[in-house]
A = this chain, B = another copy of it.
Amino acid sequence: MDPAGPGIDWLDDIMAEQSLPKAQNRVAEVIIRNPQLASYAEIAEIAARAEVNSSTVVRTAQSLGFLGWPDLQRELRSRYLTKISTEDTLVQHGEHSSPLRAALTRDMENLRLTLEANAPEEVEAAIATLAAAKSILVLGHGSYAAPASVMAHLGATMGYPITLESRGGVHLVSSTNTLGPGDVLVVINIWRSIGQMIAAAEAAHQAGATILTISDMRRGRLAAISEHLLVVPSEGIAFFQSVTATTSVVYGLLAGMQAAHPERSRETIRRSQQLWKDLDIHLD
């Protein structure tokens, strides 16, 4: 553990590899100790704290392998800005218990577990598959129709060839029938699920489609035929399961899909008015 308090592992790591000169070390020190500050402060502020000229700050950033200060700063932001502490919250609100509190803390825990349960490479691979898909079909029944519809809705708005099937029976059959090699079937959170859904997925798998499953089960018939499996806890309060973590995962996939297709993204930005309207950012 870092004796200086909460530290920046990755920065520490970089620094371990090549040792910096004295002044630059001071700069790094300042950054490590005040990541929050460093994530938005301008060079002069950091320079002052390290009692160093601002050029030295730039050079430190460059020594560490970044293009310059703004580049390092971007990295800092993405790592620290959204950091939160669950314990913090628990302490602040003490024992007071309410249904809302229960739901929120439960879901925070679910999100945390999701973070632990899925390796970044796994996620990247899933995103790559989605990005390369000829077409995408999203299945989600019952409560899980909610995240499924979010995925289909936003994905389509981004320009992806993506559709939703939240119904069963004939509809399910005819939707999955057309799938073949190059197509991707996204199956969202089934719990030992409805037989016809597994059957549909297996048929699609046979036909050459790639299966991507988002589920709370690591094993099972579905897992067996899934090229990619993302695991999400779905424990809820009271009697119901929670789709919160699933929804969040869907956002992560969508963000990755957007990053994966610069050309579509550009197109997206060009049409941002329409996009944002669809996304409910619609202002008047």
Which residues does A use to contact B, with CB under 8 Å? 5-6, 8-10, 13, 22, 25-26, 29-30, 35-36, 39-40, 48-51, 77-109, 111-112, 114-116, 118, 120, 123-124, 127, 141-147, 149-150, 153-154, 158, 189-194, 236-245, 247-249, 251-256, 258-259, 268-269, 272-273, 275-276, 278-284
Q: Given A51-B272, A100-B252, A147-B146, do A241 and B279 touch, yes or no (CB 8 Å)?
A: yes
Return A151 CB to nearest CB of chain B, in Å.
10
Question: Which residues from B are CB-within-8-Å of A107?
Answer: 111, 244, 247-248, 251
Bound-state Cα–Cα, A258 to B123, Å? 36
Tell me if A278 and B94 are in contact (CB < 8 A).
no
Q: Given A146-B147, A146-B149, A268-B239, do A9 and B112 touch, yes or no (CB 8 Å)?
A: no
Question: Which residues from B are CB-within-8-Å of A276?
Answer: 49, 51, 239
Bound-state Cα–Cα, A86 to B45, Å? 17
Bound-state Cα–Cα, A240 to B157, Å? 10
Tell me if A83 and B89 are in contact (CB < 8 A).
yes
Question: Which residues from B are CB-within-8-Å of A147?
Answer: 146
Bound-state Cα–Cα, A85 to B87, Å? 10
Bound-state Cα–Cα, A106 to B245, Å? 12
